[in-house]
Structure 1
Amino acid sequence: MKLASHYIRLREHFPHVGDRQEQDMQLEDIAAALNCTHRNATLLLKKMHDQGWLHWLPQRGRGKQSVLQFIVPAEEMIIGVAKELVERKDLRGALEQMNVSSIPDSLKDHFHSWLNGYFGYSSELRDSKRYDTLRFPLTQAIQTLDPAFTNFTTEAHLVNQLFDSLVRYNRLTQTIEPHLAHAWEADRTRTAWTFYLRKGILFHNGKELSAEDIRFTLERLKHSAIRSLYRWVVQQIEAIEVIDPLTLTIRLQEPNELFLQFMSTHRTAVIPKDAYGDDPAAFVRAPVGTGPFKLTFLDESICVLDAFPSYFQGRAHLDRVELWHVPDMQAQEKYRTLESFQIIHNYRLPDEAESSWQQVQQQGTTCKFVTFNLLKQGPLKDPAVREAIYTAIDQRKLLELLDGDAIYAADSFIRQTAVEPPKLELSLVRERLKQSGYAGERIKLCTISHYERDALLVQSVLREAGVSIDVVLLSVEEFKGERRLEADLLLFSMMLDNNEELRLIDLYKSMQHHLEPACKTYVEQFLHAALQEPHREGRAGLLQSIERRLRSDHVLQWLYGKRLKTMYHSSVKGISLDSLDWVQFKNIWYKP
C-alpha cells in the first residue's frame, strides 16, 4: 500500500501528463516529486513498472531524457488504496483518500456503494468452523466506553455488551431480576441492601469476580470529580461492607425505593478492582468487564467486539461485532441498500421493502425540551416575558420543520402520548410579546453540538416571533459545568426508557440549580416523597405534580418526542432489546 501511495503522489505531481502518454522526464524531477534520493526513486520506479502501473524507460548519458508513461489512472489507484485501508480497519484513512477534490463524483459514488455493502452480516469458514461477523455503522463517534462517564446512548449500549451490573430490569414484567447477584435483601429500614454474588464469574482478563470489585466500582463513582448521571444516588451511599468474597452490604443515608433500579443501570456496570493498575488512562483505552463481548480494538473510526467464550450466561452466537463510525452517513442515503444492514435503528422504510422487514415493539422515547434559567439576571426573570417567550415556542411549526414518521408533539414526560399543539397566530404571538414588556433584549439559547439542529429550529421560530436570540454550543463536559448557566434557555434531550424515573429525578435535581426559591423548595419536597414511595404509580403521581408546577411557572417547555424504532430483516433471529431499546448483540443469529 505504501508503494501505491508513492504512485498516487507521483501521478498527482504531473497532472498535465495524460494516461498512457509518453513524457520525457529527468530522474531528479521524479526524485523531487517523491521527496527521496535518486537511488530510491529508481527503485520505486522499477517496482511500479513491475506492477504494471507505469512504463519507465531510463536513458543513460548526459542530456538524454528518460521516458515515463502512466498506465493506471490516479483515481483508480486511490479507490484501491481506500478499499485496502477499509480492509485493514483504517476507515479514517480510507475516507481521507476519497476526500480528494480531483476524484470525480462517479468514482466517489462507486466507493461509497462498496463501503455500505461492506456492512451487515457476513459468514466464513475457518478451520471447518463458521465465523459470523456483524458490521454496524454509526453516525456518532465513540468518546468513551468507561461506564461511569458515558454520555450518549450508543456508548451506553456498548457498555451493556462489555459489562454487567448486579441486577437487571425486566422490561416486560417491570421487575428487578438477578444477574451478577443471584439474590439480595433489604433490612427493615430499607437503608441496608445485601447482595449475594454468583460463583465463578470471570472478567475478560481471566480474573474471578468478587465483592471487592463491587465495592471498588461504587467507591470510584462516589469519589469521582466528574458530574455524571445519577451522581445523587451514589452520594447517598454511606458505607460498603464486604462480608466475604461473595457477599456485601451497601448502607444508604436514607431510604431510596429506586436504589435497586439504579443498581441495574449501566452506570453501575462492575469493573475489576485492579482495573487502573499504574495507569488510570489504560482502562479507558482497554476497558475490562464480564459482559458477553470483550473489546479487542478501538480507535476514532472502528470499535471491534469479540465474543467472550466464558460468559456466565452462555456464549454469544456472533463471533464478532464491528462498529464503524461513518461521519457523513446521513448524506450517503443514495448509496445505501437495506440488504447491507439487516438491522437498522430509527430508519423509515420505503413502502416496497416492508414485506421482508419487521419492527421490534419499542417502549423508549427520546424527548427534546427547553428549560428556563432563572438564576441569570435578565428578561426571563419577569413572569410576563417568560410566559410570552414560552408560548412563542411554537410546537406545531417545529413539527413542520422536522422530518420523521416517529416524531410527535409532547407535553409530558410521564404521559408519553401525542398531543395536538395549539394553532398560534403569529401576529397575536408578537403582540403578546410586546405587551409583556419584552424590549428586544438578546436571549441566549445553550445546548451541546449534537443538538445544534434543534437549537437552530427553535431560534428560527423565536426570531420569527420577534425574539432576539443567539445559539451557544458547548461540549458535553462544558454543558455539565457552570458555563451553561450563562445562558437564558437550555436545550437538552432525555431518553425515556426503563430508567425514566431515575432520569426524571436527575433532571429535576439539575434544574433546582436555576429555579426560583419557592419552586425549588416545592420540587425538593416532592422528590423526597417520590424516593420514599414504594409503588410506581404513586411515584408517577408525585413526579407529575413536579411537571405541572414547572409548566405553570413556565420554566419547562417540551419541543417534541421521538419514538424509537428498530427494523430487522426476516433473516435475523434472536432479536431482543436492552434497556436502551437497542438490539442485544449476544442473542442475534442469522438464518442462512
Structure 2
Amino acid sequence: MLTIERYLTLYGRFASELGAGAAAEASIEQVAEALYCTERNAKLVLRKLTEEGFIEWKAGRGRGNRSHITFREDREKLLLDLSRQYAEDGEYNKAFHLLQTFGEGTAANEKFMEWMSGSFGFHKQLGKEADILRLPITRVIMTLDPAECVFSFDSHVIQQIFDKLVVLEENTGRILPGIAHDWECNEDATIWTFHLRKGVLFHDGTELTASDVVFTMERLRSGKLNSWIMRSLGKVEAVSNRIVRFHLNRPNWLFLKYACSNVMAILPSGLLGQSEELFWKRPVGTGPFQIEEWTSGRLLLGANVHYFQGRPHLDQVEIVPVPPNEALKGRMVTWQQLICDPKQQAVTVENGWIKLESKNVCTSMLSWNMQRKGPQQSELFRRIVDQLLDRKLMIRELEGYRYLPANGFFPESEPSTSVTPPNDTPIPPDELRKLIARHGFDQFPVTLCAHTVHSADAFWIQKQCMAYGIEVKVRIEGQETIHSVFDEVDVTFHSLVFPEDEVSLIESCEQDNSFLKRLMTPELSAWTIERFDEALAFKNSPDRMAIYAEIEERLRGEYQVLFLLHNRFYTDYHPTLKGVRINSLGWIDFKHIWRA
C-alpha cells in the first residue's frame, strides 16, 4: 500500500493534468523532492514502481536528454481500490486521509462515500447469525471517562458501556433500579443508602461490589471535570459487599437523580489494576455493550451476553467517525436513514417511514464572556443584541430541528412564546441604530464562537447584527478546540441538553468546563451555586423550580445569557426496524434495536 501511495504522490506531482498513459518529464532530483527522500531512495522507489508495472521510467542519457515517467494506472481507480481496502480492514481514518491527500480533481470521494453508504446500516455477518449495525458519525469521541465527559455523544456511548446505581425512566420521570435494586434516605436527605444487586458482572467477568462504587465516587470527587456532582459529599462507605452509604454535608433531595447521571457511572475498583492511560484505551464497564476495538478510525462494540438487564438484540455496533467535509462532499445519507437500509426509498411518510420525536429538547443560547474586555461588558449592548435576534424569524429561516423561541432553560417553564424580558419595552429600530452609533458599539468587532454543528446559527446571528452596524467575526471550532478558546472570544453560541432535567441544569452552571460557568462573572457563578444549594434542600419539585426560575430571571434580566431557541430531536425509521427510541441525549439506544 505504501507503494501505491508513492505512485499517487508522483502522479499528483507530474501527471495530474496529463492523465494516465502520457509521458511526463521528471528528473531524479524532482522525484526525490516530491517524495521527501534522497536521490538514492528515489531511484529505489522508481525501480520498485517499474517492477510492479505502475510506471515506465526512461532515464535521459547524455547532455540535454530529459528523463520521462509514464503512469500506467488510473489515479481515481487506484484511490478507490486502496480506500475500500482500508475501510474493509476497519482502518477508515486511513481511507479518509488518503482521499483528502490525493483525491482533489477526481470523483473518488463521491464514489467512495456512495460505496460506504452501501456498507452502513444493518448487516448479517456471513456464516453467522450475527446482527451488525454500522453507523457513520460526523464527530469524534473525545473521552469515555464519565468523570471527564462533556459532549452528549460521548455520554451516549458511555451509557452503552457503563451502568449507574439507578435509572431515570424518560417517559415517566420515575426512578428505576439499576445496579442498585433498592435504596432509602434519612429525614433530611443527608444520608442515602443503596442496596446492590447480586451477579452484576464487569465485562472481564469480575463481579461488581460496594467497593467498586466507593472507588468510583472517590475518584469522581478528586479534581475531575465532573467533580461538581460530589461537591456536598462528606464520605462514601461500603457498609458491606452489597450496601453503599453516602453521607452528605447538606440536604440533597435530588441525590437520587444525581445517581441517574452518566457522570456517576460505576467503574471497576482500581481500574482493574491498570494505569489511567491504559484503562481508558479500552475501558471496562457492566453495560449492555463492551468494547472490542477502539481506534481513531472506529469504535467496535460487542453485545454483553451476560448483561444483568437482558442481552441486547444486536451482536455488534460499529461506529465510524466520518470527517464532516467528506460527508458533505460525498452527500452521505444520515445515520438515521442508514440504521434501516441505505437502499430504501426516500425518507417520506408515503414510502412507509415513521418520524419519531423525542420528548426531550436542547436549548440554544448565547453566553457573553464577562471575563473579557469589550462591548459585552455593557448591559445596554447585550440588551441591543438580544433585541436584534428575532427568534421566530430565526426558526422560519433556518428551520430544521428549531421549533420554539426560548425564554429560559426549559420549554415547560415558558410563560409565553415572547422572548422579551418582563417589564422591558422594545426599542424601535431607528433608536437602536442611534444607540449603537452613539455608544460606539459599531466601532468594536465582536468575536462569536460556535461549534461546527452550529455554523448556520452563528452566521445567521452575524447577519442580523451586521445589518445594524455591529461587526461580528464568526469563529467555528470543533470538539477538540472549542473549550480551549474561552479567553479569545467575546460570546459563545452553545446548546444544552437536559437528560436528567434539574440535574443537567445544575451541571450546566457548576461543571468547571461548562460555557455558562466559564463565561459568567465569578460573583454570578457563586450566587447560582448558593441558590442551587437552597433548592436541593427542598423536597418538593415546585419549590426547587421556583428557585431555578429566579436564576433564569437574573441571567435573562442582566442579559448575561441570551436564551434563543428550543430544539427537538427527531429520527426517521422504517417499520421493519423495531425497538427504536430516542434517548434524552438525542441518540438511539442500541440495546433495544432489532430487525424484523
The separation in 2 between residues aligned to 1:68 and 1:329, in whole angstroms, is 32
1:498-534: per-residue Cα shift (whole Å, max 9, x none)? x121122233457577767996787456423321222
AA matched with 1:341: L
- Report what 1:565 is aligned to: 570
The separation in 1 between residues aligned to 2:388 and 2:45, in whole angstroms, is 70
- Report what 1:322 is aligned to: 318
- Report what 1:534 is aligned to: 539
1:343-401: per-residue Cα shift (whole Å, max 9, x none)? 59xxxx96746532112231121211123455556555554444334323343454355
- Report what 1:431 is aligned to: 434
1:157-194: per-residue Cα shift (whole Å, max 9, x none)? 00000100110001122111111111111122311111
1:492 to partner: Cα distance: 2.6
Q: Does 1:85 align with 2:83?
A: no
Pair 1:80–1:522, CA change in 2 (3 A) = closer
The separation in 2 between residues aligned to 1:310 and 1:259, in whole angstroms, is 29
1:578 to partner: Cα distance: 3.1
- Report what 1:62 is aligned to: none
- Report what 1:358 is aligned to: 354
Alignment of 1:493-504 (within 5 A): 493-497=495-499, 499-504=500-505
- Report what 1:306 is aligned to: 302
Alpha carbons 1:233, 1:259 under 8 Å: kept: no
Alignment of 1:353-432 (within 5 A): 354-374=350-370, 379-416=375-412, 419=417, 426-432=429-435
The separation in 1 between residues aligned to 2:133 and 2:376, in whole angstroms, is 51
1:147 to partner: Cα distance: 1.4
The separation in 1 between residues aligned to 2:522 and 2:10, in whole angstroms, is 70
1:546-579: per-residue Cα shift (whole Å, max 9, x none)? 2223322333211222111122222211223333
Pair 1:118–1:540, CA change in 2 (3 A) = same
Alpha carbons 2:556, 2:563 under 8 Å: kept: no
AA matched with 1:151: V
Alpha carbons 1:142, 1:155 under 8 Å: kept: yes
The separation in 2 between residues aligned to 1:223 and 1:544, in whole angstroms, is 31
Alpha carbons 1:197, 1:211 under 8 Å: kept: yes
* From 455, 465, 468, the counterpart of 1:465: 468
Alpha carbons 2:366, 2:562 under 8 Å: kept: yes
| Secondary structure in structure 1 of the residue aligned to 2:246 | strand
AA matched with 1:489: V
Alignment of 1:244-259 (within 5 A): 244-259=240-255
Alpha carbons 1:116, 1:337 under 8 Å: kept: no
- Report what 1:336 is aligned to: 333
1:133 to partner: Cα distance: 1.0
Pair 1:84–1:353, CA change in 2 (3 A) = farther
Pair 1:115–1:558, CA change in 2 (3 A) = same
Pair 1:531–1:478, CA change in 2 (3 A) = farther
Alpha carbons 1:445, 1:491 under 8 Å: kept: no
Q: Does 1:484 align with 2:489?
A: no
* From 575, 592, 595, the counterpart of 1:590: 595
Pair 1:589–1:29, CA change in 2 (3 A) = same
- Report what 2:585 is aligned to: 580
Pair 1:335–1:7, CA change in 2 (3 A) = same
The separation in 2 between residues aligned to 1:270 and 1:117, in whole angstroms, is 37
1:258 to partner: Cα distance: 1.2
Range with bigger deviation, 1-10 or 34-43: 34-43
Alpha carbons 1:357, 1:568 under 8 Å: kept: yes
Pair 1:5–1:492, CA change in 2 (3 A) = closer
The separation in 2 between residues aligned to 1:405 and 1:247, in whole angstroms, is 44
| Secondary structure in structure 2 of the residue aligned to 1:233 | helix
The separation in 1 between residues aligned to 2:222 and 2:24, in whole angstroms, is 70
Pair 1:520–1:6, CA change in 2 (3 A) = closer
Pair 1:33–1:236, CA change in 2 (3 A) = closer
1:222 to partner: Cα distance: 0.4
Alignment of 1:36-55 (within 5 A): 36=41, 45-46=50-51, 48-49=52-53
- Report what 1:167 is aligned to: 166
Pair 1:434–1:246, CA change in 2 (3 A) = same
The separation in 2 between residues aligned to 1:120 and 1:29, in whole angstroms, is 46
Alpha carbons 1:21, 1:69 under 8 Å: kept: yes
| Secondary structure in structure 2 of the residue aligned to 1:217 | helix
1:142 to partner: Cα distance: 1.1
1:232 to partner: Cα distance: 2.7
- Report what 1:145 is aligned to: 144
Pair 1:147–1:21, CA change in 2 (3 A) = same
AA matched with 1:212: S
Alignment of 1:264-283 (within 5 A): 264-275=260-271, 277=273, 279-283=275-279
Q: What are the ranges of 5 or more consecutive residues in structure 1 without an aligned counterpart?
A: 59-64
- Report what 1:227 is aligned to: 225
Alpha carbons 2:86, 2:94 under 8 Å: kept: yes
The separation in 2 between residues aligned to 1:26 and 1:444, in whole angstroms, is 52
| Secondary structure in structure 2 of the residue aligned to 1:361 | strand
The separation in 1 between residues aligned to 2:396 and 2:106, in whole angstroms, is 33
- Report what 2:73 is aligned to: 72
- Report what 1:236 is aligned to: 232
| Secondary structure in structure 2 of the residue aligned to 1:274 | helix
| Secondary structure in structure 1 of the residue aligned to 2:548 | helix
Pair 1:332–1:568, CA change in 2 (3 A) = farther
| Secondary structure in structure 1 of the residue aligned to 2:252 | coil
Alpha carbons 2:14, 2:26 under 8 Å: kept: no
Instruction: Give TM-score scaled by structure 1 length.
Output: 0.83
| Secondary structure in structure 2 of the residue aligned to 1:289 | coil
The separation in 2 between residues aligned to 1:274 and 1:104, in whole angstroms, is 53
- Report what 2:256 is aligned to: 260
The separation in 2 between residues aligned to 1:520 and 1:138, in whole angstroms, is 35
AA matched with 1:491: F
Pair 1:93–1:525, CA change in 2 (3 A) = closer
Pair 1:354–1:179, CA change in 2 (3 A) = farther
- Report what 1:61 is aligned to: none
1:486 to partner: Cα distance: 7.0
The separation in 1 between residues aligned to 2:45 and 2:523, in whole angstroms, is 79
Alpha carbons 1:362, 1:564 under 8 Å: kept: yes
Alpha carbons 1:358, 1:570 under 8 Å: kept: yes
Alpha carbons 2:133, 2:339 under 8 Å: kept: no
Alpha carbons 2:135, 2:335 under 8 Å: kept: no
Number of aligned residue pairs: 570
| Secondary structure in structure 2 of the residue aligned to 1:256 | coil
The separation in 1 between residues aligned to 2:250 and 2:5, in whole angstroms, is 65
CA RMSD of aligned residues (A): 4.0
| Secondary structure in structure 1 of the residue aligned to 2:411 | coil
Question: Percent identity at matched positions?
Answer: 26
Q: What are the ranges of 5 or more consecutive residues in structure 2 without an aligned counterpart?
A: 60-65, 421-425
1:472-509: per-residue Cα shift (whole Å, max 9, x none)? 6778798768x736755343321133x12112223345
The separation in 2 between residues aligned to 1:300 and 1:169, in whole angstroms, is 32
Pair 1:365–1:87, CA change in 2 (3 A) = same
Alpha carbons 1:168, 1:177 under 8 Å: kept: yes
